[in-house]
Amino acid sequence: MKNRTIFISAALLLAVAGAGAQDSGGTLAKARAAGSITMGVREASPPLSYSLGGSHVGYHVELCEQMLGKLLPGVAIRQMVVTSQNRVPLLQNGTVDIECGSTTNNAARQQQVAFANTSYITEARFAVRAASGIQSVEQLKGRTIVTTTGTTLVQRLRKLEQDHKGSGLNIVLAKDHAESFLLLETGRADAFAMDDNTLAGNIAHARNPGDFRIVGKPLGIEPIAIMLRKEDPAFKSAVDGYLDGVMASGALEKLYAKWFMAPIPPRNAVINISLSDSLKAAFQSPNDRPAEAYEDKP
């Protein structure tokens, strides 16, 4: 492990140096010229990215801040809130330079943007009120399921609806994760379908976390990654080089433990999602494979 860390660290230095030499019009050059770089963040995707006291924090936010501090020393890092609907166009048009939220890397999005190597892998499931007694999708017949507009769960729920013809699923779309959870919390929805980390994060920050539980078989396994502009190989190379280094050294696993396995603000709640075997494998063999590459896995 030590030798690999030294090798990766050397590769990172070469990647950064090469990026500085080759990036005549990409993200790195733009940020150096402007003296700042804009990082897209999410309002309600704990523990990856969420608002706290006028700023935004989380696993991906801290990871990006540490990384950008190394790649662009002296360059100011500015945060800008993005949503599920606007995160891709704002990245494409240059309003934000990097997105550090909770975005699934899939084949469709890879046509529009690039992704750094996978830094989280999630399972999509349902959050329900504990008192409802709901344990499975079969019990959602005739019930209302909410998910967030612009997320991969919209397509997954449509497919679920097709696979369970006559199920009478009532699918409602909310503008963001906070509104989705509010619909569940206030009884206007019977289930909230989303990535397990987002569900656990919203439950942990609820007024009464014990009122909710996460249930059902996974609707899918999805790699979550930092999103970058397409056609900027120098920036992707530099970002991946940094990630490879912190994965090899164990630093990323420590950062994961901080946000997923220890108390986090504002309520000192613990998300309690341990490092999965699939994420361990991604740390050991860094890659940017899309969600479709995980579909055939049991």
Q: What is the DSSP string of 258-284?
A: HHHSS-BTTTTB----PPPHHHHHHHH
Per-residue pLDDT tens over the stretch 127-179: 999 999 999 988 998 999 999 999 999 999 988 888 766 567 899 999 999 99
Distance CA 7, CA 287 (A): 17
| DSSP β-bridge partners for residue 272 | none
7: pLDDT confidence band, cut at 50, 70 and 90?
very low
In eight-state DSSP terms, residue 104 is B
Report the candidate in 86, 147, 136, 109 with the shortest Cα–Cα distance to residue 223: 109
2-119+225-294 placed in CATH 3.40.50.2000:
no
Query: Which pLDDT does position 295 carry in this prediction?
Result: 81
Asked whether this chain's domains 2-119+225-294 and 124-222 adopt the same fold, the reply is: yes
Per-residue pLDDT tens over the stretch 35-76: 999 999 999 999 999 999 999 999 999 999 999 999 999 999
Query: Which pLDDT does position 20 carry in this prediction?
Result: 44
Q: Write down the domain spans for the chain.
A: 2-119+225-294, 124-222
CATH superfamily label, 124-222:
Periplasmic binding protein-like II (3.40.190.10)
pTM (two decimals):
0.84
